[in-house]
Amino acid sequence: MLKIIFFLLFLTPICFINNMYWTVQIMLFFISFIFLLMNNFMNYWSEISYFLGCDMLSYGLVLLSLWICSLMLLASESVNKYNNYKNLFLLNIVILLLLLVLTFSSMSLFMFYLFFESSLIPTLFLILGWGYQPERLQAGVYLLFYTLLVSLPMLIGIFYVMNKTGSMNFYLMNNFMFNYDLLYFCLLCAFLVKMPMFLVHLWLPKAHVEAPVSGSMILAGIMLKLGGYGLLRVISFLQFMNLKYSFIWISISLVGGVLVSLVCLRQTDLKALIAYSSVAHMGIVLAGLLTMTYWGLCGSYTLMIAHGLCSSGLFCLANVSYERLGSRSMLINKGLLNFMPAMTLWWFLLSSANMAAPPTLNLLGEISLLNSIVSWSWISMIMLSFLSFFSAAYTLYLYSFSQHGKLFSGIYSFSGGKIREYLLMLLHWLPLNLLILKSESCMLWL
């Protein structure tokens, strides 16, 4: 792992050189390919160096963060074009990536916590620095304080665990089991907010609406997965407590998922719609994860990877039309089929991925999650059926409203999609559909 870390560290001085935007971007692609070759399908920790290492669980998420971060640079070309503090932007993203890689690959719970918290800061900078409206201040405060309010108790919980077990290593901690309610809530709540679970999800749509495209991509692509990753790690020594309390979280996230899907159906802001849809998806992930069945754990991991690619791609698409039309409103972003017919294909493909259509990884994830949740309790079938129906409904609403119908009459002139944008879409979509051919890398990590 250390080679990745050092690579990223030595990438930071390059960020300060002028006209190095694309170099940094290519370098990030390069490191993600290197990392791709480092895969050895070990179910135990491998690539161990310093305090870092990765097993299959962290491998996928590290790869996802490398990939998404390089796509972030590809997506926010406007920062480069208008020189909107591009050096600082590059530096910020490289540091964010560094912290994320460290988060996913650290083998001790405390180090995980440290970098988990740290990755919040560059995200905050991204929203405050490169956001559009003055409301971004509020969004930043929401982001920071929702997360910190619950993660500081988690720090106390972590130290409690350390005093009891004498070790912070994930692998060693699996041998312990804690039957202590307060500890359970301390450790879990931080991840539930980060996921985000319904009722504590309010920071997410706010942050998405105010963030620039790169901020939205990293939030939907990686930051939400931090919560799921943390849950997958800590649930192993909180199993008994989870059996006692998991019904609360599962029912909140199932009912909340349906409610959030209904909220999606009345959005007029493209980004807000995608943000709420990711809350709904994360609800299923959370519910499946907390059933603690084999299907559930594997499916939640698969859907996390899939959702990271798919919603990040949708945010890119929203940004593509935002850059042309200057608005994210559905009343203005309509009839885009006339405007950019080739981009409509990508809208279609990524929307169908979002509603878990067959060849995508989302489908695999959702099927196994449905399996696990139904096996947990058959009553949840009611909510699940609503959930999957509405997820198709709002994605269709998003697709048909933005692509079909009459073109907004205020548009004066237009430019079609650029090669960069098509490449961006392809690189989101391709892994999403190819990974199903190698789905044991996602489904058989346990």
Q: Which residues here bind another protein, judged by CB under 8 A?
A: 50-51, 84-85, 87-88, 99, 114-115, 117-118, 120-121, 124-125, 128-130, 134, 136-137, 140-141, 144-145, 148-149, 152-153, 155-156, 159-160, 162-163
Q: Which is nearer to another protein, 119 or 291 (CB)?
A: 119
326 contacts: CB under 8 Å, gap ≥ 6: none
**Rama region for 196: left / alpha / beta (φ>0; ψ in -120 to 50; rest):** beta
Q: What is the rounded distance in angstroms from the CA atom of residue 70 to the CA atom of residue 90?
A: 11
In the complex, what is the shortest distance from the CB of residue 323 to another protein, in angstroms, rounded to a whole number? Answer: 17
Q: What is the rounded distance in angstroms from the CA atom of residue 213 to the CA atom of residue 130?
A: 9
Q: What is the rounded distance in angstroms from the CA atom of residue 35 to the CA atom of residue 29?
A: 10
Q: What is the rounded distance in angstroms from the CA atom of residue 396 to the CA atom of residue 350?
A: 11
Q: Which is nearer to another protein, 150 or 337 (CB)?
A: 150
Q: Which is nearer to another protein, 55 or 117 (CB)?
A: 117
Which spans in 38-85 are helix H? 56-75, 77-81
In the complex, what is the shortest distance from the CB of residue 278 to another protein, in angstroms, rounded to a whole number? Answer: 25
Q: Which is nearer to another protein, 183 or 332 (CB)?
A: 183
DSSP 3-state assignment of 340?
coil
In the complex, what is the shortest distance from the CB of residue 125 to another protein, in angstroms, rounded to a whole number? Answer: 6
Q: Computed from CA positions of residues 269, 270, 276, 279, in that sequence, does the dihedral angle turn out positive or negative?
A: negative
Q: What is the rounded distance in angstroms from the CA atom of residue 301 to the CA atom of residue 64?
A: 12
In the complex, what is the shortest distance from the CB of residue 265 to another protein, in angstroms, rounded to a whole number? Answer: 34
**What spatial distance separates the first Cα and last Cα of the chain, rounded to whole Å?**
21
Element (H, E) at 417: none
What's the chain's Rg over C-alpha atoms? Answer: 21
Q: Which of 122, 113, 167, 176 is nearest to 144 (CA)?
A: 122
Q: Pairing mode, if any, of strands 52-54 and 46-49?
A: antiparallel
In the complex, what is the shortest distance from the CB of residue 91 to another protein, in angstroms, rounded to a whole number? Answer: 9
Cα 306 from chain centroid (whole Å): 9
In the complex, what is the shortest distance from the CB of residue 365 to another protein, in angstroms, rounded to a whole number? Answer: 31
Cβ distance 152 to 122 under 8 Å?
A: no
DSSP 3-state assignment of 204?
helix
121 contacts: CB under 8 Å, gap ≥ 6: none
